[in-house]
Amino acid sequence: MLTPIKAKLAQVLAPEMGITAQRVAELFEIPKDLDHGHLAVPVFSLAKERKKAPPQIAKEISEKLLTLKIEGVANVVPVAGYVNFHLDERVLFRSLYSEVQRQGEKLAWGQTGAGQTVIIDYSSPNVAKPMHVGHLRATVIGQAIRNLAETQGYKVIGLNHLGDWGVQFGKLAYAYEKWGSEYDFKKEPFESLFKLYVRFHSEAEKDPELDKQGSLVFKRLEQGDAGLTELWRKFVDISMADFDRQWKRLGVKHDLVRGESFYNDRLRATEDLIQKKGLLVESEGAMVVNLDDEKMPPCLIRKGDGASLYATRDIASALYRFEELKADLALYVVGNDQALHFKQVFSVLKRMGFSWFSKCHHISFGMYRFKDDGTGAGKMSSRKGQIIRLEDLLNRAIEIVRELMSEKNAELRASDLASFNKISEQVAIGAIVFNDLINDRVRDVEFDWQKALSFEGDSGPYVQYVSVRCRSVLAKYAVTTKAALPEVGELNALESPEERNLMKTLMQYEMVLAQSFRIFKPSTLAGYLLDVCTAFNQFYHHHKILVGEPALIKSRIALVYITQSVIISGLRVLNIEAPEKM
Ligand code: ARG
């Protein structure tokens, strides 16, 4: 947003600063204090080359720009090492409003990524294991980054690197043959599969012979045994049906499923390539790449018994992403417990001579820790079946929200149960997603039900509620005046501090989207939406929007409209729905 004026300023500044307009646009900042202007550009980077102090450079550029009399710019002032722009607030207001109307769903989208493909690996659960809260993070952070990439003009491929291969499938097949008939695969296929998985591991603790048997069965599977392959397929299908159900609830979608098994017939070639580069060495019977010089343990490429490994499949998969799918950027949204794994894989790629290794990023995140939840401490193992399942977490959230809303929205519940249920679900899921995304992803999250589901605090429901409030103000305006939205030409600058501050906050949206993607942190956008809500509430509590001069009301209505558009658009990028009522 604000694109026309920003684009123009960037163009004018480019020759003055000796850099491209695109680069100038990336440098724009918003001064903290509105008295210092609406936009600022730092010139520190020019100091060395020009052999001048930044304040002097800022002064010279400001003076030059003032003589140009740029339309929409009221003043240009040097402030320390910055060139600050005071915009004409009426022009600013009108341009924001018309941009919002023109851009619709693609509000404030940019073109930085045009012509480039980004592949985002996210959610990627493991067959036979229910998705747990760790996958919640991998799912919602991944989907939000995916949406952010789209706002920057990238072609995006959302990839599911499904965990569908490895020795556990030998174990599972062994367990199925031995105890499968004791479970009801017709009625509850996925539960039965998971129970088998848990059972195998608990029995194997007592009898290590089972692990050996499992490995042998896996070997037969790797060699292409037809019956085992069919069974394996069944396990994958059962699991995918369950995952699809969860993704649907969260509104998450992949473009491509490329499970680990997809790389089976590429592993030989991958290994040969590593070998050709002279990187493969034998170590205790296994084949590894030594990473001593980077103070990392060796990257295991093939086990002594010939079985392939997670890392090998990731190396083959990176080759596929860059060489075949022609990625320009590959993001792996995976927990920080796999940090070493990705460091090793990326380092092997570097040693293999692929310059694109630097375009691989592990987008890591911390774990959930549960308050008042005895079972939740630390990271839980799915082997013993004690995990907090994603599904249970969502169900519990919906239950609590339904309860809360039964009091607040008793009327809606009585008159329209279907929409009451839909809204409760939008609010509950929105709350869980926002509660995740508001945290800087690299940190662990202390999960607190009260905080997540609060309607007042820094929560998803709070943001949703502000959008509903905007909606109802606009609806009331439409009913009382029988008028459509104001025309751009009817708007005048609003003068109260609350209105000016809200406007200033709204005009940042475009920059927030760009920044949020640049650092791969949806928390930047989530935090910004809270700022918008705070600024809106200050405005709302200080001014009676629908009372006063008709011309003033029109301008205020336009401001509410911009606010609503930014909030709904921002929520959409975070993959959160905005309910119509609350
Ligand atoms: N399946 C893995 C897990 O659930 C995540 C896979 C991440 N992606 C990758 N390319 N290794 O822990």
Where are the chain's structural domains? 3-87, 167-250, 460-573
Mean pLDDT of the region 354-368: 96
pLDDT tens sequence across 190-242: 999 999 999 999 999 999 999 999 999 999 998 999 999 999 999 999 999 99
- Whole-number Å distance, alpha carbon 383 to ligand 1 midpoint, is 17
Q: Tell me: pLDDT of 90 over 60.
A: yes
Predicted confidence (pLDDT) at residue 374 exceeds the cutoff of 50: no
Question: Are the C-beta atoms of residues 387 and 373 closer than 8 Å to each other?
Answer: no
Is 381 a residue whose pLDDT tops 60?
Answer: no
> What is residue 386's predicted lDDT score, i.e. its pLDDT?
57
Residue of the CA atom closest to atom 3 of ligand 1: 125
Domain 3-87 CATH superfamily: Arginyl tRNA synthetase N-terminal domain (3.30.1360.70)
Confidence band (pLDDT; 50, 70, 90) for 375? very low
313 Cα: distance to centroid of ligand 1 (angstroms): 11
Closest Cα to atom 6, ligand 1: which residue? 124
In this predicted model, what pLDDT tens digit does every residue of 121-151 receive, in sequence order? 999 999 999 998 889 999 999 999 999 999 9
Q: Whose CA is nearest to atom 5 of ligand 1?
A: 124
Instruction: Report pLDDT for 384.
Output: 52
Cα–Cα distance, 174 to 307 (Å, whole number)? 17
260 alpha carbon to ligand 1 midpoint, in Å? 9
What would the pLDDT profile of 290-329 be if each residue is shown by its tens digit? 999 999 999 999 988 777 789 999 999 999 999 999 999 9
Question: What is the distance of C-alpha 128 from the center of its chain?
Answer: 26
- Pocket probe for ligand 1: among 121, 123, 124, the residue whose CB has the most ligand atoms within 8 Å is 124
Cα–ligand 1 centroid distance for 137 (angstroms): 12
Atom of ligand 1 nearest to the CA of 129: 4
Question: pLDDT-based confidence at 447, cuts 50/70/90?
Answer: confident
The protein residue with its alpha carbon nearest to ligand 1, atom 8, reads 161
Q: What is the mean pLDDT of the chain?
A: 93
pLDDT digits (tens, 9 = 90+) for 33-58: 889 999 999 999 999 999 999 999 99
Share of residues in the chain with pLDDT > 70 (%) = 97
| H or E stretch covering 362 | strand 360-363
Residue 73 pLDDT > 50: yes
Q: How far is the CA of 21 from the centre of ligand 1 (A)?
A: 40
Nearest CA, atom 9, ligand 1: 161
CA-to-CA distance for 566 and 348, rounded, in angstroms?
43
In eight-state DSSP terms, residue 455 is S
CB under 6 Å to ligand 1: residues? 121, 124-126, 161, 163, 314, 317, 332, 334
Res 379 pLDDT > 50? no
Cα of 160 from ligand 1 centre, angstroms: 9
Residue nearest to atom 11 of ligand 1 (CA): 314
Average pLDDT over residues 256-285: 95
CA–centroid distance, residue 125 to ligand 1 (Å) = 7
Q: Which atom of ligand 1 is nearest to the CA of 338?
A: 12
Give tens-digit pLDDT for 474-498: 999 999 888 889 999 999 999 999 9
CATH of range 460-573; options 3.90.920.10, 1.10.10.10, 1.20.140.10, 1.10.730.10: 1.10.730.10
Name the residue of 334, 341, 390 to mutate for ligand 1: max ligand atoms within 8 A of Cβ: 334
CA of 341 to the centre of ligand 1 (A): 10
Q: Residue 372 pLDDT more than 60?
A: no
**Predicted local distance difference test score (pLDDT) of residue 1:** 72
Structure tokens at 338: 């796999």
pLDDT at 376 over 60: no
Percent pLDDT > 90 in the chain is 86
pLDDT at 380 over 50: no
Q: What residues contact 311, with CB distance under 8 A and at least 6 apart?
A: 299, 300, 301, 341, 344, 345, 348
Q: Which atom of ligand 1 is nearest to the CA of 162?
A: 1
Query: Confidence class of residue 371 from pLDDT cuts 50, 70 and 90?
Result: low
pLDDT value of residue 305? 78
Residue to mutate (ligand 1; options 169, 338, 343, 348; most atoms within 8 A of CB): 338
CA of 291 to the centre of ligand 1 (A): 22
Question: Are the CB atoms for 438 and 458 separated by under 8 Å?
Answer: yes
The Å distance, Cα 12 to ligand 1 centre, comes to 47
Question: Which string of DSSP letters, residue by residue, matches 203-267?
Answer: HHHH-THHHHHHHHHHHHHHTT-HHHHHHHHHHHHHHHHHHHHHHHHHT---SEE--GGGGGGGH
pLDDT greater than 70 at residue 98: yes
pTM: 0.94
Ligand 1 center from residue 332 Cα (angstroms)? 8
